[in-house]
Structures are given as structure tokens and as C-alpha cells.
Amino acid sequence: MRNPRREDPNYTRSRADEEQDTDWTMIGTLNSVIANTRVNVLKFSYTHEDVFFGNPGYFQKGDQAALGSLLVHQTFEDRIATRANRRMDPAYQADDTFSWFLPGRKGDHDVKFGASVYYLPLHVFDAGSQNGEFRFSTSDRDFNGARGPDFSILSMRTAYRFKLPGGGNRRVMAYVDIFNLTNRANFNNPATNGAADIRDAANFLIVRSIRNGGPSRTAQFNVRYDF
């Protein structure tokens, strides 16, 4: 069974995801007449449920990490969804029922007893968010265009992903972040009341801090291992 793409007013069509569900059941029964008054019924059954949740690109390629990143804008989401997982719920069952008819024992009696055995493993595979996502600011602040020489703050990130041999999702990702690289300060934003063209003497071209007087430079290194 394949469900259509799940539409949402805040999703573009490429962002929508879908579900593929495969279910089936197999049953076998053995009836054995042991004597005129005794019957045994043995039943085996297997139920298979295999559910995929994800985006169309994941179903086509099978590799979530190879897809483009999700773009999270202020009011909508675009490109490839991060959802990608699979759940398998097999169910094994064995039932045995023994029936014994006892006539003329101060009445006629039908005695039954038996046992049931269930084995219900659960297999879950989750590749969600391996394509990554990029979020745009939701603060909706005006762009600060009042920039002067030697008065700016610059932060940088460098990242690299190593795909490890052996198949699967084994990989190592390394990140290097450098904050306040130039160690400069920016001017105050001259925009007030949401209008970018207002020039207020109280804040127009007022420097937040002097050159080299901003926050100290900071560097950090991160390593992530997926398996």
C-alpha cells in the first residue's frame, strides 16, 4: 500500500513526504483425528508488516545522506524532508488445541486445552536528518547596512564528512568553528520601528565597541561519528 504525499500548507511540493506500507499474513492448519473422541488442531501463522516513511528521493535512492538539505524558511519549508525511517513488525504464532469428547460420564463433556506461542521482534531503521537542514532566521530583523571599515564581526565554520568503508551509514564528520575572527565590532542598527531608512541620532552610526574591544576570538572543534 502506498499513501500519497502528505501535503501541508507550509510545505512546498518537493518537501512533502509519503508512506509505503506492505502487509500480508500466511496461515497453515493441521487437523489430526487421534481417535473417535480425540482431535488435535495445530495452527501456524506469520504476519508481516513493513512500513517506510520518507520523502520521494529517499524511496528512489535509498540514501538519505546523498539528498539535498531541507530549507526551513520563516513561514514554509522547501526541498527535501528529513524524515526517512523503516519499521518491520513480523509476528510468528503457533497454536495447539486438543479436544476430547467424553460421553456417558454423568453427562456428555467436551474438554479442550491447548497453548499459544508468540514471537514478535521489532526492527527499526532510522536515517532521518542525514541530509541535514538549513534554517533561516525567524527573527525577521532588518538588515544592518551601516558598516564601516574595520568594524565588523566575522564567524566561520568549516566542515568535512568522511564516508567509512564497509557500507551502511558509517561516517565521520568534523567541524571547526571560529567565532569573532576579525575581533571587530559592528555599528548599531540604525533601523527603528521596522523601517530601515530611519536615521535616529540616538543610534545612527553609534559603534557598539571600539576596534579590538569586542569579544575574544574563540575556536572549537567537533567530531561526529555515525554508525
Q: What is the mean pLDDT of residues 170-191?
A: 66
Distance CA 21, CA 51 (A): 4
Q: pLDDT (tens digit, 9 = 90+) per residue, 108-144?
A: 899 999 999 999 999 988 888 888 888 876 655 544 4
Contact criterion met (CB below 8 Å) for 169 and 65: yes
With a cut of 50, say whether residue 210 has pLDDT above it: no
- Identify the band that residue 202 occupies on the pLDDT scale cut at 50, 70 and 90: low
Question: Which pLDDT value is given to residue 94?
Answer: 97
Distance CA 113, CA 40 (A): 10
SS3 96: strand
Contact criterion met (CB below 8 Å) for 96 and 65: no
Q: pLDDT (tens digit, 9 = 90+) per residue, 143-166?
A: 444 444 444 556 777 888 788 887
199 Cβ neighbours under 8 A, 6+ residues apart: 190
18 Cβ neighbours under 8 A, 6+ residues apart: 2, 3, 4, 5, 6, 54, 55, 56, 59
Mean pLDDT is highest, among 51-55, 110-114, 200-204, for 110-114
Domain ranges of the chain: 2-126, 141-227
CA–CA distance from 58 to each of 13, 19, 38, 72 (Å)? 15, 11, 56, 19
Q: What is the mean pLDDT of residues 46-66?
A: 85
Name the pTM for this structure: 0.49
